[in-house]
Structure 1
């Protein structure tokens, strides 16, 4: 573990610095947006981002996770080319599917005629950035990874705020996100362009044979995983008003800030060191998993305390009394924020340490928990606060199950490594 700390300290500092700056920009942007846009506009944007977030994690068929494991530039190019093709096809199909759901009345009153195309653009931009991030992880370009979120959030802020001053419609919120991600992709292009050329057919075939478990095994479980993470807010969108959905969207964005700030940086280092340990056939993975999780748990407790006792009052002070609905939801979301912070930081252990079955079990359990919790809400009279409390508590329990299964994978991997060593 000492090796992990010494190896990761410098890169983790860079990533945290970039994420802190980006989250500061995002929070300030959210404050201004709340002043410029009505809650129902924010609710429509929140629905579109939730739908996109249910799709983009698997839009590349999980091949982006294979990038750090590629053994040659040619193999990496094949992975990137296949991933980009999949992202384009999945994005178009998603936009069409969302429009069909909207026309059938299954997305609630927050959905509009532009929701489908907005989701398509959000998916293709988010999935492409995730792919480019993995190429930077492969080359250990942590300085570039720290710069990317700052550029992305900066451009997003300019577009969203500037448009809101002139014409405050939710479509500009989507446009700002897409513009920010495009700018980030341009920043990363110089360092990652060596992986963007087309490979030969034989290399494509050999690469798919080597990494076929990612699209064939991990993609189905990732679909369930992404759906499980977004299912609470998607179900809530069908049960609460557009204004309440706007408040929940703002509260959810604030709740996710610690996850984006800490979990993303820790995960990038954790996956890089974990992949190196696997390539070198070393063990000690369980100990590393527990040490990293223990440190994250301390941080999570502090974050939850702030969300319960301090954040609601601060939100009303900053955003005004009209956003009290968002402040009321923050304590409800504290538990899921803490669980997500810990579990998401170490979830790459499933892909790197051959934990496909455990990953699938954790995702199915999460979806089932949320669906079972939603049944009484659908068939009975309930308050909006009750809807959100029940759905997101089920999500938090799902994250805890995922962490426990990750520990099981780490223990098994160490046992196999020790058996080979002896």
Structure 2
């Protein structure tokens, strides 16, 4: 697959995607939850615009959950080497050339622009543009770039505004950026019609682009954890984790899948109002939380802990479950120790925190199946019956889930 047919069906790409989807949705993440999928139109040209906090994992979050052939756009400097460029085209990624890449390079954008028209006019495809431009591991939406709006308007203009392109705001939430077997939530916002700004674009394109950019920004903010304050960022980030479960229980938000995000949004938005209206209160709260974290550090506890009263019956039930499933857990630890340790070791070699989970994903995708297969081959040398070997092969990944 090359740039000329990047939007077309490819058997090899489809096969690879099934493997990537399975590992992402069933193995790497403990739980992947999609919210408000009814906001995704069944027909028409679409541009998905998610927030960008976690490097490659943001693109994978879209790729593994949206039921269209997705084509992504990325900065052009990563396409310089022909071999790398071929791989990126196979992964359905198009380059975006910027002024900093040189004026001669900007001429190449005409070819890319024509290709985005091919993508958007194919009913089976959609475009994905990360409008923040680069990733950052903070729970806040940063200022959006204008690229997505320019592409949308120019594509409409080239087709006499007949396409009715829809911009789909997307909020991606990770309960832990780096951890293996963490939880992921993808929240789809209501579509924004580019044609809504037709009149403004005809009169003043720059104004229309800014209006669309600002509307998208507000939409994405409503879909994510958006801690706007710089000064009290750490305070609010701590409290959202500390009280999310308690607030969800009070509001009777049922289900682990759905309660985390709305509860945290309420906490963040409520504290942000206190920051804006009662600075004295927020300063006092900041001091108390700082002391709380200092106390945790003194007793060598990292993270956020909430102590609750628990009934004796619940303690006994948990103890019985622990005893019952401990052999399975131990079996899983022993048989998955090598690929798991290798993945964690590889992750520690990456300096950029937001690339750690991306690297962990790739290494685990290769290491676990490969090493588990080699272990099964080794077991086959010592076991006479094929069905015991088959049982071992199946049990190793299943026990690893514990």
TM-score range, shorter chain: under 0.3
TM-score by length of 2: 0.25
Q: Which has the higher strand share?
A: 2
TM-score by length of 1: 0.24
Higher relative contact order (CA 8 A, sep 6+): 1
Higher-Rg structure is 2
Q: Which has the higher helix share?
A: 1
